[in-house]
């Protein structure tokens, strides 16, 4: 049962990602709204290297 629920969750996540990507494929210009939709947050390490966390990253499992 849990396996089936996980598969359904993955399918829902894929469907949501597909809808988001279709919206972004239609743009001609990178606007702040589009950028906010793609990026969750940006961290900057002590050495100045940025780490970009996209909204569509797969979650890390512990």
pLDDT in tens, 5-14: 677 777 787 8
Which tens digit of pLDDT belongs to each residue from 13-57? 788 888 877 776 776 777 888 788 788 899 999 999 999 888 875
Distance CA 8, CA 6 (A): 5
Distance CA 30, CA 46 (A): 28
Q: How far is CA 58 from CA 5, 29, 32, 46, in A?
A: 18, 26, 23, 25
Tokens of 60: 């890390």
Per-residue confidence (pLDDT) for residue 57, from 0 to 100 = 57
Its pTM stands at: 0.45
SS3 45: coil
SS3 50: strand
Residue 61 has pLDDT above 70, yes or no: no
């Amino acid at each position: 049962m849990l396996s089936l629920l996980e598969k359904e969750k993955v399918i829902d996540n894929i469907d949501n990602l597909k809808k988001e990507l279709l919206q972004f494929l239609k743009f001609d210009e990178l606007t702040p709204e589009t950028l906010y939709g793609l990026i969750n947050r940006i961290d900057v390490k002590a050495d100045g290297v940025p780490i970009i966390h996209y909204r569509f990253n797969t979650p890390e499992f512990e």
